[in-house]
Homo-oligomer: A and B are copies of this chain.
Amino acid sequence: MAIIVDKTQKRRDIALASKSIILDKGIQNLTIASIARAAGIGKGTFYEYFKSKEELLFELVEILMHAHNARIEAQLEQAERTPEKIKIFADFFYDEESGELRELYKMFTGISLLSPQEEMKAFQTECFDYYYAWFEKIIEEGIERGELKPVTRQMTGAIFATAKGMFIISETTERNCDLKHEIHTYVDTLMALLACEGEDV
């Protein structure tokens, strides 16, 4: 043996070193050579740590996700009412702090749609399950506390998907709508409809 390198750590280092260029140019428009250059390593070394550009993206998303999750968790603990919690959840799609992760997530989704690989789907599923479990808990607590009608359960998946759909639309069309406002209005309106007291809106 010789020069034992912490492979896991170096993977992270390379990923983080290429973060800005990826966010700047988009992974699609980058060559492996330029990524390696940005990370200060040779092209061959890149392949020592990643199978492809896509794998680098995984790594980056995973790193940023951890930071994001910690932020969300802290915010959720402070929130009281269900609509607030859902909004914290949906913040991802428009707030400043999530900007970088959101941009990577966009590329990520694009790749998934274009060339559905097994690893890709597995990772997406992992992320989805993680956040969906959280979301379900919020809804379930809302029902238990009497803030939401039980029928909300039938809509959990759909509500979860709505913000994602709105985000994709806003990103792929010229409709530069105010995502924050639109999502908040949606959540407020829906929550009023789902509230147990017969508040007419």
Known: A162-B165, A169-B161. A113 touches B109 (CB 8 A): yes
Smallest CB separation, A193 vs chain B (Å): 4
Residues in B whose Cβ lies below 8 Å from that of A79: none
Contact B172 A166 (CB under 8 A): no
Contact A161 B155 (CB under 8 A): no
Q: Kindly state the separation between the CA atoms of A109 and B113 in the bound complex, as whole angstroms.
A: 7
Nearest B residue (CB) for A106: B113
Residues in B whose Cβ lies below 8 Å from that of A161: 162, 165-166, 168-169
Residue A40, interface by CB 8 Å: no
Choose among B28, B107, B113, B172 the residue that contacts A121 (Cβ–Cβ < 8 A). Answer: B172
Choose among B125, B155, B172 the residue that contacts A175 (Cβ–Cβ < 8 A). Answer: B125
> How many identical chains are in the complex?
2
Q: Kindly state the separation between the CA atoms of A125 and B190 in the bound complex, as whole angstroms.
A: 27
Stretch at the interface among A1-9, A62-70, A137-145, A181-189: A181-189
Residue A23, interface by CB 8 Å: no
Residue A128, interface by CB 8 Å: yes
Smallest CB separation, A119 vs chain B (Å): 11
For the complex of A and B, 6 pairs with smallest distance between CB atoms: A165-B165, A110-B113, A161-B165, A110-B114, A158-B186, A164-B165
